[in-house]
Structure 1
């Protein structure tokens, strides 16, 4: 088992160096990749370096090198959160973000002062008295609590932004990959939490082996996500899908809303903006000559739909008309849906069933 774990350590280590090499020597990838992903790789490289030195025995089986590998533990959670915030909201780095790393810096100082600087004799006495085990248990528990807290904040932010995007966009975006990333991190942290409680009850050998495995799992997940960050950077740019322009609050009267409702319906029928598969709410509001909050109020109070539902309602109507035309002879249902403005087969099927009460195939058979 230990041999397999060591092989994973070497694989993750050299993979992290390879990705850093690509980032440093490829201007194109350096421009596209999220900076927090790069910092995650650096953290992995630092943590894995200590493990590589320890298991290789270059300087003997000195536990201080193993302690060195713990430097990055409290940096993971905060970096994942800042990466999530940067990807979902398009937030750029600010010096105030460094406050999230203060606990990590303090953690490193404790590791250095308590585990690395004292002599072997002092460490041995602490181990015999049980003090060393208590301190390690406290530090591991602190690291777990810290990382779990930031993971929860990341998940909360993800669901908030996903809900907001549904009210701003008329099309579906690829959030599945990002959500799977958070789920995988959550599963690793959950397993780590279970292993932590196992160690408290005296099964420290199981805890040490399992914790190394879980830590490596997190490393491989981050390396995997970083690979896609280089290969398909658009997967992590949700924050750029919506405009950041700020508007004043709506001051429209009831009569204004009624007039705008008629104007909006006329616009949708005559200019068919819904045929744009990437239509966003800010674009439609500009076409109507009103602000983003005002069109949101119009949709909610006078139409009873959010932006996503409203635009796809017109796309369904367009689809039904196309299905009655000669185009149906040359195109599939999804081909017609794309002609009507849909960019996703899943979104089309869900929208059609919600509006018509049945799938497209059943509707036309009936």
Structure 2
């Protein structure tokens, strides 16, 4: 058994915090439940892998612990699919609940098959084959597949973020501040993959072994990743999950014509001008469609084709105009700009500033300065 080292402490802390966060998310976080179940599984798998690596570092002379450590390495092939599943369940509302196809786990199954093949060799025979270089090619192939397999799922997660950004403007009139969380999550995973790729390239292509960038650094990055992911997930409030648009839906079924357009547009104008429905901080496309007694597709079609606007821009234009009216009445002399923006229907300073600049083509402070000079 090796002496206790600093990396052992890091791995131990990673294991303990991974288990703690996996359990805490289920106990405290009652929100985003379907997504958080997947996140807890990810955190537990990461903890298991760190435990296996801890066994490998400290008990490599023990055959059964070495075998356990070798088996948990196969779990690296399930991270990518699970990350994608977590992202998809977190941001999209799908019925039935989205599940991964078995084909996503074929590489993991192949890796497990390879592991059981190695069991046909004794502990001494395995290390003899490894030292002779006979197992280098299989390990090279598996590691190559593992790296690019996970990079592929990071790319798919990035595509989900782009799709979410498009759907957000179609369905929400406010910002959920979810994008920074998703990018932080993805960047953390990419950091781990980058370190892994660097270590892999140095070993297999450059045949360089250094104490700066090596596999130890890769394993140290996992506890850091666990902390970042778990911390952000605990902070993340319940979010409005977007309906995922189906490409095979025909637009003609929801297209409005003639009097139907005029009637729906008149109802919409009444809700906006008379009832001021836009003052609802968390107004969604579903809410508006329910008020209009029609489908969300009809409302989207009306906004896109008649008003030439997304739901997000349409609602926030009314909010900006309400804010401007308050400024022109001099209410900013008695209230903060943030308070006035909230009274106008905005739910955050960032959403307000962005919408104001889009509509007025200026910042709120500059607009007020110009108004005072008139």
Both structures adopt the same fold (TM-score exceeding 0.5):
yes
Match of 1:157 among 120, 137, 160: 160
For the residue of structure 1 that corresponds to 2:190, the secondary structure is helix
**Distance between the aligned counterparts of 2:297 and 2:148, measured in 1?**
39
Match of 1:87 among 65, 90, 113: 90
Establish whether residue 52 from structure 1 lines up as the match of residue 54 from structure 2: yes
For 2:353, the equivalent position in structure 1 comes to 349
For the residue of structure 1 that corresponds to 2:74, the secondary structure is coil
Higher mean C-alpha displacement, 346-355 vs 12-21 = 12-21
**Distance between the aligned counterparts of 1:23 and 1:334, measured in 2?**
33
1:67-120 per-position Cα deviation (integer Å, ceiling 9, x unaligned): 234131101111111111111114576665444233213212212322x44123
For the residue of structure 2 that corresponds to 1:218, the secondary structure is helix
For the residue of structure 2 that corresponds to 1:343, the secondary structure is coil
Structure 1 residues 181 and 6: CA distance shift in structure 2, 3 A: same
Structure 1 residues 173 and 29: CA distance shift in structure 2, 3 A: closer
For 1:123, the equivalent position in structure 2 comes to 126
**Contact 1:77/1:151 (8 A) holds in 2:** yes
For 2:292, the equivalent position in structure 1 comes to 288
Cα deviation for residue 29 of structure 1 reads 4.4
**Contact 1:165/1:242 (8 A) holds in 2:** no
**Contact 2:198/2:213 (8 A) holds in 1:** no
Structure 1 residues 251 and 356: CA distance shift in structure 2, 3 A: closer
RMSD of aligned residue pairs (Cα, Å): 3.0
The TM-score, its normalising length taken from structure 2, stands at: 0.85
**Distance between the aligned counterparts of 2:328 and 2:147, measured in 1?**
59
* Residues paired across the two proteins, number: 358
1:45-87 per-position Cα deviation (integer Å, ceiling 9, x unaligned): 2212212223333964864344234131101111111111111
Structure 1 residues 102 and 216: CA distance shift in structure 2, 3 A: farther
Counterpart mapping for 1:60-71 below 5 A:
60=62, 63-71=66-74
Q: Which runs of 5+ in 1 are unaligned?
A: none
Establish whether residue 194 from structure 1 lines up as the match of residue 223 from structure 2: no
Establish whether residue 205 from structure 1 lines up as the match of residue 182 from structure 2: no
More helix by share: 1
Cα deviation for residue 144 of structure 1 reads 0.7
**Contact 1:87/1:238 (8 A) holds in 2:** no
Match of 2:135 among 122, 132, 136: 132
**Contact 1:169/1:242 (8 A) holds in 2:** no
1:178-235 per-position Cα deviation (integer Å, ceiling 9, x unaligned): 2211122123213322332222224253499623322432343134323443x33526
**Contact 2:11/2:223 (8 A) holds in 1:** no
**Distance between the aligned counterparts of 1:337 and 1:46, measured in 2?**
48
